[in-house]
Chains A and B, each alone.
Chain A
């Protein structure tokens, strides 16, 4: 029963080589060369023990002539050098292939990531995605390198050595000497299992410690204000000691390996020398043969150990490759129609949404409006009213089922997504900047843009003055490893970035929230003057941002409850006017109570 289980499990492990067969086929020449060299080395390794045994025998008999000696030593030197060269090349071939596999998988994953849509990214955690491209790729690449090597090497070397021992020395001695080795395999396998489980426990304790530190650092204000820092340190000490104790338990198993191997191999040696002496007495063997025999025995230790190790590598590789394959099988939810349009007559957008829901609850109902050339549409309403959903539909992050959105007279579901992206530029709420210079960030969508164009866009976005005040101006690095910019500066840079593309429709999705009202006004003014052909959709919290819009839509609970120009909306009682008054007052309070108007 137990045996059967192990057998099927083994077959299961080896499956990873089948999964990797496309790569093995691709690199078959390298692998073939590597494996041939590996077998060649295994064969060469059989020679020195024989030569050593021969010399020892001749020394013992006192019959060594200097010709024989030099010839034999020359043979040893040739084998040594041959081994060195062959070893160098098989490593280079096999490990080189595994490095290439790592690179290919990483590329595949990266390319795949660029195909997946925002819906996928909202569902996934960055850490998990990263893990695929780092740990999993590494594990698979290790399987293709060390895994293959170990498999071939331990099998061929093991078989060669045992055959040589039996045929050239003595089957009886081989049998006796190998008796303790199964014990070693059994013990090390057992250790492996214990180590695995204890290591898991230690890892769990370590990640608990990690959480603890995270918590203490995040909650440092509470701890300090209640004066409990010292006690928190005590509780960290307890946890940390626990981690130590669990690591000691791991060490207790880990430390067993070397002595066990030494003990059992030593037992094999004493058996071979002892029983060998008996065989010498009986005239079946010479001392030299015993010396050769022990040298062969030394060669056997590695394949025995390697086998346990092999399972480990292959098991990890299989699990990782499964995860990578699952990842690569994910398809973007919105895909281009085969007949999708690749050109558009114009870029006027008509939105006719009768009904839209993410799941059960209705998010939008009866939203109809047009985005015409050169016109500005303002969309306002409280958080959660459905403003951002409208933007998501316009960019086809989600598709409308009941109703349609047309651009240039064609339903956007029949327009190539790349074309749609060219025509409609969105400046999102979260202004993500790359770890690069400010200039390159602005020119992100048009890497070939000239410096003049970049500066022009920065001026329109009212960020040029801020940039030239930075130590290295437009060459200043931003992003995670660069200088820290204020939220408003980041927003204005991302607006400049969007301006570079000269899309026909520009959507600002609450993109000016961290910019003060005055700057906001002049940015919007720049838009109107700078590119009179462009249509604009401004989604905002602050009404001053949409004051000059040609049409303002007030969204509440997914419906358009008010629409019209600013002046007209102010005359109506309703959300718009209430909000306008409140924001006026807010502005006064922010200014310290002085009514500037």
Chain B
């Protein structure tokens, strides 16, 4: 019962998308009405032909030609309008799916990063593409079938009433019978179909897992046991499919055909008995048989689409669940217009926790004056990355205050913040496309010249020029063909092209080949000039000239000062420095 309610909610919500296309839908509907009317008129005209001309055996030429002409006109318009209505409904359906797809994509991309940390990329991709595709099937196939079938059914009954009202009324008996069959079919098929689907996904999950864990299975010599387990599911799946097959064989096509046969028997019986007392026009009998057959087709169409329908509702439900998950990125939360002019960054007693339980940053305070470089060092998990995540406003912080040029972080427009605060990521993600497109990254304000200048500035120009097609070189396999140093340079160029006031650097942990290493260093130095820089450094050698070095341990700043001051303190920094410079500890 609860399930039904939920299903109905999903359908209602799906239909609400259609309301935006009221006008196109009405036009499509008119096409459908014309097509159905023209189609149904055919047997009626043949009835007229049989009763008026064939039975009496008289063929007044003009009338015959007129009748033929009308038939042909109707026939052709039935063809044309049938095509038009079908294509119109499909177009609308595709547009609706496009809308849903845009909604979910925009919604997902607007979520905060914590959401992406939690949700596997594969799941999101599958929701945005595969599930919306299933919804497409629902709209294109199922809903248009339902509408068309309903119209055809009603239209057919109208013609039956024109022909022979008492018989048409008797024909109404079929409606509850149809309802009963659909109800019974749906009742059992929902269950069986779900069983088949579940067992199939279980089967695939087992298979997938076995393939992934085959090494373990073979090593522990459990092949036979797992084969048995797989066989069990495989057999259960087969049994479920048998049940489904039996149901389909009993209640789907064969029963519809049986019902059709009995309807024809009833019809012939009616006219047969009638013919014993009065003259019956055989044309009517012909037309009736044609119409009766046409009543049954839409019912069959609907029944054959039921399982697809259920599948699509499940998919749509998943899509809507994501649309209802509201975890927007922190964004601008304070009134007023803030601007970054100098680039002074200030943290005041900032505390932060990802899960609300364990603080990963405790009471962090520091100032980076305009043009200065502040370096963050510390072991993995010490909190360096969290500081960056807060400054880039990827995560909302707990207590304390972060300001840029004296204005709270929450006061900046997204555009202002992203434009003035440039982040260079550890692993610069390269998108499909050319080098130039990757430097511009969709931004129309960056022209080719600026992209090139940026590349020259960070000395990426030399290696780009050597690629075939240079800046037009298409990046393959997410940039796996480039060395990590080259990828770093590209990331630098991407940031420099945006000319930010504040630079955030997340240095690569992976080793860079010595040849590029030098260029990376020079590029870094040049980029930092005139910009406030917050840098995560893994190699201490790169930040010896920093104005301030913060040593982090378990979310706290344990040491601070410049390189010389810290070495003198003889603490954690010194040990790290020794470790990296390869000096051996006195034992």
Contact = CB atoms under 8 A, between A and B. Distances in A.
A273 B49 contact: yes
Interface stretch (A347-355, A403-411, A555-563, A580-588): A580-588
Given A210-B129, A434-B213, A592-B553, A237 B258 contact: no
Given A52-B289, A55-B268, A240 B98 contact: yes
B93 to A, nearest CB: 9
A282 B168 CA distance: 35
Contacts of B98: 240-241, 243-244
Contacts of B558: 592-593
Please report whether the interface of chain A is mostly helix, strand, loop or mixed according to DSSP. helix
B215 A287 contact: no
A76 B241 contact: no
17 contacts: A59-B272, A80-B261, A84-B255, A91-B248, A92-B245, A99-B242, A107-B231, A209-B129, A227-B417, A228-B418, A233-B105, A234-B442, A247-B136, A258-B86, A262-B39, A425-B220, A588-B575
Given A52-B289, A107-B230, A219-B431, 7 more contacts: A59-B285, A92-B249, A129-B211, A235-B442, A445-B222, A585-B575, A585-B579
B79 A262 contact: yes
A77 B214 contact: no
Interface in B32-85: 39, 42, 46, 49-50, 53-55, 57, 59, 68, 71-72, 75-76, 78-80, 82-83
B94 A251 contact: yes
Contacts of A118: 214-215, 218
A581 B587 contact: yes
A216 interface: yes
Interface of A: 48, 52, 55-56, 58-60, 62, 64-66, 69, 72-73, 76-77, 79-81, 83-84, 87-88, 91-92, 95-96, 99-100, 102-103, 106-107, 110-111, 113-118, 121, 126, 129-130, 133-134, 206, 209-229, 231-237, 240-241, 243-244, 247-248, 251-252, 254-256, 258-260, 262-263, 266-267, 269-270, 273-274, 277, 280-281, 287-288, 290-291, 294-295, 298, 395, 418, 421-422, 425-426, 428, 432, 434-435, 444-445, 447, 479-481, 497, 501, 578, 581-582, 584-586, 588-590, 592-593
Contacts of B59: 277, 281
Contact of A213 (B129, B212, B216, B231): B129
B87 interface: yes
A270 B75 contact: yes
A541 to B, nearest CB: 15
A281 B230 contact: no
B346 interface: no
Contact of B109 (A100, A110, A229, A584): A229
Contacts of A214: 121, 125
Contacts of A217: 108, 116, 121, 124-125
Contacts of A103: 234-235, 237-238
B568 interface: no
Nearest to B225: A447
Given A214-B121, A220-B109, A291-B286, A106 B46 contact: no
B209 interface: yes
Please report whether the interface of chain B is mostly helix, strand, loop or mixed according to DSSP. helix
Contacts, number: 363
Contacts of B575: 585, 588-589, 593
Nearest to A494: B216
- Top-9 shortest CB links A-B: A227-B418, A80-B261, A593-B572, A445-B220, A231-B442, A255-B86, A225-B423, A251-B90, A219-B429
A422 B221 contact: yes
Nearest to A120: B214
A218 B121 contact: yes
Given A77-B262, A225-B423, A259-B83, A589 B109 contact: no
Interface residues of B, number: 141
Interface stretch (B185-193, B275-283, B518-526): B275-283
Contacts of B379: 589-590
Nearest to A417: B218
B1 interface: no
A501 B478 CA distance: 43
A229 B136 CA distance: 26
Contact of A444 (B222, B273, B418): B222
A56 B214 contact: no
Contact of A593 (B109, B250, B553): B553
A95 B90 CA distance: 32
